[in-house]
Amino acid sequence: MIVLIQQTRKSMKKQQLPRRNTVAMALGVALIHFSPAAQAQVPPDAGQTLQQLQPPIAAPRESQPLKIQAPLDSAPIAPGGAAVILNTVKLSGNSVFSEETLRAALGDVTGKTFDLAGLRGLAQRITDVYQAGGYPFARAILPPQDLANGDLRIEVIEGRYGVVQAQGDDSVLAQQATAFLDGLLPGSVIASAPLERAALLLDDLPGIQTSATMRPGTQAGTGDLIVQIARDQRVRGDIGLDNAGSRYTGKNRVRANVDINSPFLLGDQLTVRALLSEEKLWLGSLGYSLPLGTSGLRGNVGYSHTSYELAKEFASLHANGTAKVASAGLSYPILRSQKANLTLIATYQSKDLHDNRDSTRTYESKSSQSMPLALQFDYRDAFDGITYGSASWTPGKLKLDAGLTAVDDYKSNGRFHKVNLDVVRLQSLPAGFNLMAHLSWQQANKNLDSSEKLSLGGASGVRAYPSGEATGDEGGLAQLELRYDAGVYTPYAFMDAGRITVNAKPVAAGDNRRSLSGGGLGLRYQRQAWSADVALAWRSIGGRSLSETNNDPKPRVWLNVEYRF
């Protein structure tokens, strides 16, 4: 996901650690792991800087609805008129459901009297079974027949595909898109699940717009799927300003994100990201993804480069460093529908972290390889709400340089694994209100490197505390927001609370946990391409900030402005 935007101002050669600096390094490593109070005295490193740049979980985008023009039902018939005593019921045309299943829906009708409306009602029971099972074009009908002997015939027309194709002004694009519909074979039964999946997977491709319509076919008992397709905006992106950074690497930041859609082939995407802070923090990334076949499987590769220089109280250290991350992965939608989605993601990550303190001629390096396995999910329910999030397991291996290995009292070197869970609930309420609830959690099997830890403070955490506050191996965060929809404005009130365990495997006795909480008020603005968010947060539990002892405002103010193009 990442491209080199700018190299650090001073290129350092990897050196053997001077003997006289080993004690200083040991003290620094111990302070990083020891206690919440001690952590406040330790400058951020490349790993923590990288961790603080991770984006919050994003809400799933709305899917393009599938238009289904189902066959018209027969005109209703009023009860009354001639009646018949049923002797037998014969079913024909059914292949999806067994005769036993359909007879169970009919119930015991032998020896009972039915008029024409009642007989149609029996056929409707069969239709309901199909419709409830996800077969929108299936119908059960009463063919012309002689009921003198009480023998009823019900014919099932399951509804099969006639024409399946993509159409548009760009014939080459339409031909390429039709390949994503090849699983919907003419003559096969029209089922909602594969139909919806195919249409949505096509609509998910970057760089195209689709409108899918399922309508009655020209032949009786068939339905035609026509997907109108056109090229969408080739380049999309956003430019933003915020104050969500760290005091020591730059609070005020400018960022730019650009997506180039379908630059080389249908459905591929090139992504470019850049971020710059007021204190010479640089982040640049380049990513590329593409569809692998037409099943929804996608591959992606990326590279990112981050460089930093510490400022403010740590400026005298002349500390700087870099974080380089290379990644490659696959994603596959196990379930894709309007109502529920489940995507499996596997990614290989290689991190290369370097920290330099020119004032003491101390140069540290470490690297890690990991393979996060994640399940992303979302579910829209009948209560006018959506639940979404992700669950992941990350096995990996950390490799420290010789100097860091010598002072690794907390045994972070070597293999590790951690489990993460992020769940968000958005619930609509009466009178224009809605509620957001967010829960995140991390569990680890050992003491982690700073790049793998979690932090409670910041604009997407406990907002009463600064970015980087309360960092640990394990912990959880809970957030509540009550929002009111007032057109382009959305005022909201919020509460945040979290608790961390500094070290999963503490070595020395001491305070190994910390809890933070706070609340506040905010206002969001959204009008066409412009959006803004301002929040004021007051702390309630946790005391003064330990990571920014010289800057602890009450309230703490967060600001974000963004323009999308």
Condensed to tens digits (0 to 9), the pLDDT of residues 522-561 reads 999 999 999 999 999 999 999 999 998 887 899 999 999 9
**pLDDT, tens only, 85-100:** 999 999 999 999 999 9
d(CA 264, CA 262): 6
Look at residues 101, 103, 107 and name the one whose alpha carbon lies nearest to residue 90. Answer: 103
* Whether residue 6 has pLDDT greater than 50: no
Would you say residue 24 has pLDDT above 60?
no
Mean pLDDT of 375-400: 98
Domain with CATH 3.10.20.310 in the chain: 74-136+138-157
Provide the 3-class DSSP secondary structure of residue 322: strand
Q: How confident is the model at residue 208 (pLDDT cuts 50, 70, 90)?
A: very high
Q: How confident is the model at residue 31 (pLDDT cuts 50, 70, 90)?
A: very low
Q: How confident is the model at residue 236, as a pLDDT?
A: 97
CATH number of 29-62+307-564: 2.40.160
Average pLDDT over residues 239-260: 98
**pLDDT averaged over every residue in the chain:** 92
Q: Among 272-281, 390-399, 505-514, where is mean pLDDT lowest?
A: 505-514
Average pLDDT over residues 348-361: 97
Residue 25: predicted pLDDT: 47
Structure confidence at residue 76 (pLDDT)? 73
Domain with CATH 2.40.160 in the chain: 29-62+307-564
Q: Which of 233-247, 456-470, 540-554 has the least mean pLDDT?
A: 540-554
Reported as a pLDDT band with limits 50, 70 and 90, residue 68 is confident
- Mean pLDDT, residues 5-19 taken together: 36
Question: Which residues make Cβ contacts (< 8 Å) with residue 423, sequence separation at least 6?
Answer: 387, 388, 389, 438, 439, 440
Over range 64-74, report the average pLDDT. Answer: 78
Higher pLDDT among residues 13 and 381, named by residue:
381
How many CB atoms are located within 10 Å of the residue 169 CB? 10
Kindly provide the residue ranges of all beta strands, DSSP E only, lying in 445-473, ordered along the sequence: 454-455, 471-472
Q: Tally Cβ neighbours within 10 Å of residue 549.
A: 12
Contact partners, residue 75, CB within 8 Å, separation at least 6: none
- At residue 23, the pLDDT reads 42
**Average pLDDT of span 323-339:** 98
Q: In 3-state terms, the chain is what percent helix, strand and coil (to 5)? A: 15, 45, 35
**pLDDT at 63 (0 to 100):** 83
Task: Check the CA dihedral 407-514-555-495 and report its sign.
Answer: positive
CATH number, domain 74-136+138-157: 3.10.20.310
For position 64, what pLDDT does the model report?
79
pLDDT over 70 for what percent of the chain?
Answer: 92
Could you check whether the bond before residue 56 is cis, i.e. omega within 30 degrees of 0? no
What is the distance between the alpha carbons of residues 356 and 479, in angstroms, rounded to a whole number?
36
